[in-house]
Structures are given as C-alpha cells and as structure tokens.
Amino acid sequence: MNASDTGNLSSTHFHWSVTDTNPSGGGTMLYNMTDEEYLLSKMGPRRKDMLSVVCLLAIYCFIFVTGVVGNVCTAIVIVRNRYMQTTTDYYLCSLAISDILILVSCLPFEAYSIWQAYPFSFGEVFCIGKALLTEMTSYASVLTITAFTVERYIAICHPLMSHKIADLRRSVLIIIGIWTVSFLIALPYPVHTRTLFYEHSPTTGKPLHDSLVCTIPPEWIFEMTVMFQISTFLFFIVPMTAIIILYVLIAITLRRTALNRANSEESTGGHHSSHTRRVVRMLVAVVVAFFFCWAPFHTQRLYTIYHAKQWTPFELEVQSHLFYISGVLYFVGSTVNPFLYNVMCKRYRQAFKETLCSCCGHRKSKYQRSLIYYYNNMKSTVRSHSSPENDKQPEKTNLNNINSGNSKRETNYPVTSKLLSNSVKSHAAHRHEQKSRDGNYADNEYHSDNEDVKLLTYLPLNKATNVDTVVPVKSNVTTPTCL
C-alpha cells in the first residue's frame, strides 16, 4: 500500500496535481526549482516525519512476526496431525498459506516504502510479480474464508447434507478451484503494471530517475478502473453479504438448539445458553474483523478512482491518512485469521501441544495419541441409532495401561466410553440422544469445550491405523465452539 503499489491504488496512480491557489507566475516558479524541490511538489515527501515512520515500522514488524508465526504454526499443526486433516481444516490450511504469502511477499517491501516512498528500487520483474501476488493471495484469502463459512453453515444447519457431501477430495478440488480463479482474475494487474518515470525535469525535459515508481501507466488507467470496481464487488461486497447472512442463520440455529436443550435439561440449560452466547460472540468477531480489515482497503481504492483529477491539499491529506490506515488493516487481516479460526479452538490447541511435544522428542505412539486425543476431545461421528448389541456394556480399557505401553494391541479391539473424573460421572446421567430432523444422528466434526465431559466416542478407522475396530457410543453433542 505504498505510492507504487498497484494493489492499493495510491494517489500517484493518476496524473493529477494540487489545485494552485495562486496560479500567477506558477510556470516561472517551476523553472526556478531544483529537481528535488520539483519532485517534492509533485510527489510529496519521500518519507513522513520520523515519529510516524518509527510507529508504522514498529506496527508492521509486530504484524509480520505474529502473522507469520501464527500462520506457520497453523499449517504445521494441520499437516503433522492426521486427525486435524478434515474438510474444514483443509480450508484453514489454505487460508494460512495465502496469509503467509501476503505477509512475506508484500509487507517487507511495504515497510521499506514507508522509509523511502520513491524511487522504486527492486526492478520491473519484482514489480510485476508483486502485483500478481498481492491480488491473487488477497482473492484466495477472501474466497477461502467464504467457502469455509459455507462449510460451517452446512455442517451446523444441515448436518445430514454435510454427512453426505463431506469428502476430503471435494474440499481439495474446491481449494484448487479457489486458487485457480484467484490467479486468473488477478492476471490483468501484472499485465498492466510497469515501472515508469513519473516526472520529467522542468528544465531539461528528461525523466527524473528518482521519480521511478511501480504503477499502472496512464494509457491503461480506464481498463484497470473497471477492474478495481469489479474486484470490490466480487471480493468484498458479495463475500461480506454472504458471510453476514450465513452467520446470522448459524446463530439462529444455535440459539434454537440451546433453547431446546434448556427445555429438556433443566440442570444444564444455563450452561448451554452461555455456551451459545460465546459462540455467537465469536461469529460476530469474525464478521467485524473481516469488515474492518477489508473495508478501508476498498474504500481507499474507490475514493481514488472516483475523485476528480484536481486534488486540494486537504484532500491529499485525507488520502494520505486513509492510505496508511488501509495498509495496516490490510495486513492485520492476515494476522488475526489464525487466532479467530484456530487458536480459539480447543482441538487446535491440543494438536499444537502434541506437535510441540513431538518436536521436543516426547512423541507418543500413534495408538496412544489417537486414544488420548479422543478421550480429551468429544469427537461425535455417530452414524445412526445404536443397535441393541451396541447398547451392551463393552469391555473396558485401562488408560493407565495404554499410557504405559502395556496394553495389548489386538484386532477388533473394543473400546468403551470411559469417564475420566468424578464430575464426569455425575454428568453422565444427563446424557441423552441428540437426534436430527429425521430421527437419525448427524455427523458433527466440531468438538466440545466442556471440561466436564470427555468421552471416547466413535473413532473413524482412517484416523488411527493401530486401532482396527472401536465401539460407537451415544453422546450428547454440545454446541460447537471450534467453528
């Protein structure tokens, strides 16, 4: 988002001039200026005051470190833990990759432009590549968030449909489609971006080398103005509207579910109500973050292209402030995503701890990790009503033996729902069968944040290679917090 950034359409993208309040003798004054003074009058100062520069650079450094660390951790945790490789987690991994590319490919050079706005010092190849990466990764990030929101809506509001269409291959194809569409729509930007000398010497008429910028040449301004408008509509207005509508429907569904539970379970009604409020607050936080991170970016673009060619000093000052604010928030969006979608999720925090332990040499076996994880996270993937045979008490498993490595790994190894604490035992009496509209259980990939309920439920065979068969047990699926 600097003076040479094609992604944010700064004020130097058009050949405008500040309105001259005293035009008499203006031509003579130009010829009396040095080249540096002339550039200052036409392009503004090379950098802002030192206090502003230090503050902006400190903010950018903080955004870069937290954003890269958060997104890299997200990607590593998803890749290294098989139980994190679900349809929704694939979207989160794609989002982390796009955010990493935004931060690594754009932010350092954005920070450099704060120190020196012009001339552009990185060559035309980098100029064109930066234009492509800036737009493509931005589009991919927005489309991934939108697709992830649709998956949330289907999983919560239409669980049976989610069970039918949930497939990792389908998610991979959608993600590939997102990146392909993002690349194709971003192509006009590198095609119409060049390095050029923005000003010529008023005395010799030769290009001023210090006026070199990476921007859109004047002959392509009209075509790219149309592209900016299309970009704002397709990648801000439409996704923002869709996200708001879908999250409102999700909140309504969660609220209705909480009320039904409150009526059926008087003792836990207050817990479900507060639980739902926390989830709704998180949904609101996602919507607010999306709006405030992207709205200034598109506002600055539209404000620039719709403005008249003559700018007053006050308008340029407003444009300058909007320019830096939109730039900071643009990168903040890539930093808050891992916190909104991952760190607030208990399942992710558990996987992060396991990944950290494995890196320190304290890696458990796959068998142990699978069982311990499913004891600590309520993974409900119940296919249908349990048959009478399934309702029989299965053979118990000693967790102490499992953790000590003395448990015998047998084929068709039966596993029971083991209560891990006395408080869990008291809570077990309140468990009931959660049915969908047609009377069947529905798949739910989300996990309970209730510390009192830690049950071992159905463990999919493709999640643990060392466990051949496990017994599905009934469980009360609580309101999802890991949305």
Quick one: what percent of the chain has pLDDT higher than 90?
17
Per-residue pLDDT, averaged over 154-168, amounts to 82
Give the pLDDT band (50/70/90) at residue 187. Answer: very high
**Cβ–Cβ under 8 Å, residues 370 and 467:** yes
Which stretch of DSSP H or E encloses residue 325? helix 313-338
Per-residue pLDDT, averaged over 188-193, amounts to 89
- Residue 370: the pLDDT is 53
- Residue 394: the pLDDT is 43
- Least-confidence region, from 76-90, 139-153, 287-301, 308-322: 308-322
- Residue 143: the pLDDT is 94
Question: What are 373-376's contacts with CB under 8 Å, separation 24+?
Answer: 373/83, 374/456, 374/457, 374/459, 375/399, 375/418, 375/420, 375/454, 375/455, 375/456, 376/350, 376/454
Model pTM above 0.85: no
Average per-residue pLDDT for the chain = 70
Distance (Å, whole) CA 456 – CA 447: 12
The answer on pLDDT for 342 being more than 50 is yes
In angstroms, the Cα distances linking 248 to 25, 203, 285 are 62, 63, 13
Per-residue pLDDT, averaged over 130-134, amounts to 90
Q: Which two tokens stand for residue 419?
A: 């209560």
SS3 of the chain: helix, strand, coil, percent, to 5? 65, 5, 35
Cα 413 to its chain centre, rounded Å, is 40
Q: Which two tokens stand for residue 255?
A: 């609220």
Domains of the chain: residue spans and CATH: 11-350 (1.20.1070.10), 366-483 (no CATH)
Give pLDDT tens digits for 69-84.
989 988 888 888 887 7
Give the pLDDT band (50/70/90) at residue 214. Answer: confident
The answer on pLDDT for 301 being more than 50 is yes
- Least-confidence region, from 26-35, 290-299, 304-313, 445-454: 445-454
Distance (Å, whole) CA 399 – CA 55: 54
- Least-confidence region, from 208-212, 374-378, 418-422: 418-422
Strands (E), 67-211: 194-197
The answer on pLDDT for 377 being more than 70 is no
- Residue 66: the pLDDT is 93
197 pairs with which residues across the strands?
212
The answer on pLDDT for 149 being more than 60 is yes
Per-residue pLDDT, averaged over 47-76, amounts to 89
- Residue 50: the pLDDT is 82
Give the pLDDT band (50/70/90) at residue 478. Answer: very low
The answer on pLDDT for 374 being more than 70 is no
269-278 in b/e form (b: 16+ CB < 10 A) is bebbeebbee
The answer on pLDDT for 191 being more than 70 is yes
The answer on pLDDT for 53 being more than 80 is yes
- Residue 68: the pLDDT is 93
Phi then psi dihedrals of residue 212, to 5 deg:
-65, 125
Of the ranges 35-39, 299-303, 462-466, the best mean pLDDT one: 299-303
Give the pLDDT band (50/70/90) at residue 369. Answer: low
Between these two residues, 264 and 229, which has the higher pLDDT value? 229
Give the pLDDT band (50/70/90) at residue 270. Answer: low
- Residue 479: the pLDDT is 38
Longest alpha-carbon distance in the chain: 99
Give pLDDT tens digits for 441-459.
333 333 333 333 333 223 3
Between these two residues, 97 and 451, which has the higher pLDDT value? 97
Between these two residues, 234 and 30, which has the higher pLDDT value? 234
Between these two residues, 410 and 62, which has the higher pLDDT value? 62
Q: Helix, strand or coil for residue 148?
A: helix
The answer on pLDDT for 108 being more than 80 is yes
- Residue 155: the pLDDT is 85
Distance (Å, whole) CA 222 – CA 68: 36
Which stretch of DSSP H or E encloses residue 17? strand 17-18
- Residue 425: the pLDDT is 44
- Residue 184: the pLDDT is 95
Give pLDDT tens digits for 240-262.
999 999 999 998 888 887 777 76
Per-residue pLDDT, averaged over 118-145, amounts to 89
